[in-house]
Amino acid sequence: MNIAGWKCCSALIAVLALTPLAAHAGKTLDAVRQQGRVACGVSTGLAGFSGVDSKGNWSGLDTDICRGIAAAVLGDPGKVKWLPLNSQQRFTALQAGEVDVLSRNTTWTLTRDASMGLHFTAITYYDGQGFMVPKQSKASSVKQLRNAEICVQSGTTTEKNLNDYFRAQGAKVRPVVFESFEASLKAFFSGRCQAYTTDVSSLVSIRDKEAPKPGDYVILPEVISKEPLGPAVRRGDDEWFAIVKWLVFALIEAEELGITQANADSLRNSPNPAVQRLLGSGDDSGRLLGLDREWALRAIKAVGNYGEIFERNLGAGSSLKLPRGSNALWTKGGLMYAPPVR
């Protein structure tokens, strides 16, 4: 090959190296399309995150993520198979392929992410561990729980955090450990323990939905851990990992751009290139994920942007009335931040 030919070939290689290639469908996406549903692992019932009513309808932040995935991938948010999983079952079910995504108030940790055959995709809720006590105990601080019996569920980061925290404080408590969520609540509300510990959002949910008299219980002010919660997928399928990850990011970016469930269609004609890219009227981001160009548009129309999902399930529009706090957008003092969908 002469010099001119070599230069031409090199230039072509350089161009190809910089040209985005459409993703090929991974094995999970192929299976989801073939079966016509997304198998979603959720909790056995936690108000605001995932719960089922008497008619079999699931609701909550975690379930809306799965509906968004189904809308993006299959064009129908109703094409979800729900699998309620307790703390002991959740990782095994994902590893065994019983679920395509685990969207179940699960904390992202190094051990789980690096050694259990799974990948966490994104953070959908920033939480932390707290303590609930009967109001009549007069306790106003975790420091008053020395030597107390504290109800906690096994197989959770909560159990380890409880021991680590009090060991670091040079204090002792007596954990009362239960395998099932229901058993731990029954024990606490019957007076078996002086306190109950889990994520603060869960404590609010438990007090609101499970306590015989919610006003008889208080949540102490201290938060003793970081609990970033989010969906996880199996290792070994980069295409599916990218789809679930960017679905969450798309819902966060939609809120930042002012795209809502109600106005998504009309904003397709927006002059803003970022809005056009997200809604499929500009650059085709879907082909990089093995999807069509309207993948994010369908998800937003199905479940709303992240802010809408939060307010409906956990915030002002719910019985929990949780403040956005750390879960506000980064532009509003929170931690919710998505890489650009471009």
Output the pTM of the full model: 0.90
Q: What's the chain's average pLDDT?
A: 93
Q: Which long-range contacts (CB under 8 A, 24 or more apart) does 164-167 make?
A: 165/224, 165/225
Structure confidence at residue 171 as a pLDDT band (50, 70, 90): very high
| pLDDT band, very low/low/confident/very high, at 15 (cuts 50, 70, 90) | very low
Q: Quick one: DSSP state of residue 139?
A: -
CA distance 79 to 90: 21
Bridge partner residues of 131 (DSSP):
197
Residue 107 forms beta bridges with which residues? 229
Predicted local distance difference test score (pLDDT) of residue 20: 52
Residue given tokens 């889990």 in the structure block: 198
Distance of CA 159 to CAs 73, 120, 282, Å?
37, 21, 48
Give kind and range of the element (H or E) at residue 195: strand 195-199
Q: Is the pLDDT of residue 23 over 90?
A: no
Q: Encoding tokens for residue 168?
A: 């670091």
Query: What is the C-alpha separation between 249 and 245, in angstroms, rounded?
Result: 6
Per-residue tokens: 174: 């007596």
Quick: pLDDT tens for 44-94: 999 999 999 999 999 999 999 999 999 999 999 999 999 999 988 999 999
